[in-house]
Structure 1
Amino acid sequence: MDGVILLALAGFVGGGMNALAGGGSFVTLPVLIASGVPSVSANATSSVALYPGGASSAWVYRAGLRPIGGVRLPPMLAVTLLGGLVGSLLLLWTPTRLFDALLPWLMLVATITLAFGARLGPALRRRLSVGRHAVLGVQFVLGVYGGYFGGAVGLMMMAAWSLLHDADIKLLNAPRTLMVTAANSIAILCFALAGAVRWDAALFVGGGALAGGYAGAHLGRILPAPAVRAATIALSIAVTTLLFVRFYR
């Protein structure tokens, strides 16, 4: 019974984190592994379990959906789904050791981008012409990452978008939750068909994530933008530190 409560609590916290900024899998994944689920299966199970919370957050945020970097949502959704398919197949077909080694450095780049994006974004846009194809290309890569591992993909999306487009980070929450949910939709379908999901654990974590995602999305709508930005940066720093400690200890 204690294990069930812990899984549900991890899902609630992870769902709330995903609704506010992302990174919820860094709560659910370690708990699943600690409960005895093998790492690859734990990654797939975590994606499935957090999906209801992400979907509920996307529903709450639906009124705030808007184009990203001047690109309408339908093509962004299309490349995200394609990237999610490619990434999920890569996870099922390839070892994750190399990606685990790169992941802390990718998160470090995302953290720096989030922290200094307000200054780097205008400077980058003055020197480069960021067109529709560039935005779609970046989103495809993020979709691949979301399908393959997915950890803090919401943080990385907001980091990339803050460079490509001058927008309040709080306003990015609605399209972020939609794109993360899209990448996860195709990924969990692949994971389920491959038999990589521990459905008993996913049920308990997913129930908590559904409640956490709904609560977190409502909280994100009323929090002031500076608070959301500060919390996002703090979370990104914590996740990056955890990844470096986890891999290099």
Structure 2
Amino acid sequence: MTGLEHLVVLGAGLVAGIMTSTVGVSSLLSFPVLLALGIPPVVANASNAVGLTPGAITGSFGYRTELREHPRVATTIIGTCAIGAAGGALLLLALPPGVFEAVVPWLILGTCLLVGAQPRISSWLRRSAAAVPPDEHTRLSPVTTFFAVLVGVYGGYFGAGSGVMMMAVLGFGSHLEFRSLNALKTLAVLACNLVASVVFVAIAELDWTAVVLLAAGSIVGGYVGARIGRRLNPTLLRSLIVVVGVTAAVRMLTS
């Protein structure tokens, strides 16, 4: 890489770190940047996951107050996403390199649709669960836990939009405040990236220059994003998620 390309990857890591803690679609920015620099798709994907892990760590640290409020849910998220991500990372390395590029845009569009419809569906769920004891409102059901595992698989496989998916899963399967959902979404991204990174470092080919530059940028961006995400209006944050997700999916489909 040239000096300018180093700066581009560093900047991509910074913005991706901010997006990890806010809209949850960081890889939609950083992954295409690595591809544009000529890094092979699977190598770029694995390097991207490893490089953005520090941003998810600082983002989760920035949300530590919210995460302490729901330790049971946080523990469930870590466990389910870690298990799923291990399978997803191995799946990525086992399948042909071009497979995930074909399916990812449609997965992202589907999750954007879920997030956009979430307020109306959640309202119906709250009315249906009016008789449920208050302490059950923040406990994940077996069905929600199962879908959290699936999000973990996707996060380990590719990860772009996994934060959006987790927001949708938690929004439909719990009655947590939106700021708590955002914190748990960031924790889910951390669990996915961390476990996938262990697999990739052990058996995948990585571009270590890209990894280091993304990590340096995402460390700062993740913490800054947590500060921003806590203060965003829920409607505004949901709108940003949909706009960014749809835009990225359309670009991937038309590229």
- Fold similarity call, TM over 0.5: yes
Contact residue 23 and residue 239 of structure 1 kept, 8 A = no
CA distance in 2, matches of 1:108, 1:226: 19
CA distance in 2, matches of 1:121, 1:223: 20
**Cα deviation per residue 1:59-101 (whole Å; 9 max; x = unaligned)?**
0101101449xx6332332121110100011111112434333
Contact residue 67 and residue 73 of structure 1 kept, 8 A = yes
Letter in 2 for 1:223: L
Q: Report the CA distance between 1:28 and its aligned residue.
A: 0.9
C-alpha spacing 1:82/1:146, structure 2 compared with 1 (3 Å): same
Q: Percent identity?
A: 31
The alignment covers a number of residue pairs equal to 244
Contact residue 29 and residue 42 of structure 1 kept, 8 A = yes
**Cα deviation per residue 1:168-226 (whole Å; 9 max; x = unaligned)?**
43331111111110111110011001142111111112111111111111111223333
CA distance in 1, matches of 2:240, 2:180: 15
C-alpha spacing 1:54/1:30, structure 2 compared with 1 (3 Å): same
Gaps of 5+ in 1: none
Contact residue 111 and residue 240 of structure 1 kept, 8 A = no
2:61 aligned to which of 41, 45, 59: 59
Contact residue 12 and residue 30 of structure 2 kept, 8 A = yes
Q: Report the CA distance between 1:153 and its aligned residue.
A: 0.5
CA distance in 2, matches of 1:21, 1:28: 14
Give the corresponding residue for 1:106: 107
Gaps of 5+ in 2: 133-138
Letter in 2 for 1:82: I
Higher mean alpha-carbon deviation, 217-226 vs 175-184, is at 217-226
CA distance in 1, matches of 2:53, 2:201: 13
Pairing 1:184-223 to 2, within 5 Å after superposition? 184-223=193-232
Contact residue 170 and residue 229 of structure 1 kept, 8 A = no
TM-score of the pair, normalised by structure 2: 0.88
Q: Report the CA distance between 1:131 and its aligned residue.
A: 6.5
SS in structure 1 of the partner of residue 206 of structure 2: coil
Contact residue 155 and residue 162 of structure 2 kept, 8 A = yes
SS in structure 1 of the partner of residue 253 of structure 2: helix
Pairing 1:1-249 to 2, within 5 Å after superposition? 1-65=3-67, 66-67=69-70, 72-123=73-124, 132-246=141-255
TM-score of the pair, normalised by structure 1: 0.90
Higher mean alpha-carbon deviation, 31-40 vs 128-137, is at 128-137
Give the corresponding residue for 2:135: none
Q: Report the CA distance between 1:58 and its aligned residue.
A: 0.3
Letter in 2 for 1:24: S
Contact residue 140 and residue 173 of structure 2 kept, 8 A = no
CA distance in 2, matches of 1:16, 1:174: 13
User: Please, what is the CA RMSD of the aligned residues?
Assistant: 2.2
CA distance in 1, matches of 2:6, 2:98: 29
CA distance in 1, matches of 2:38, 2:100: 22
Letter in 2 for 1:34: A
Q: Report the CA distance between 1:156 and its aligned residue.
A: 1.1
Higher mean alpha-carbon deviation, 219-228 vs 22-31, is at 219-228
SS in structure 1 of the partner of residue 10 of structure 2: helix
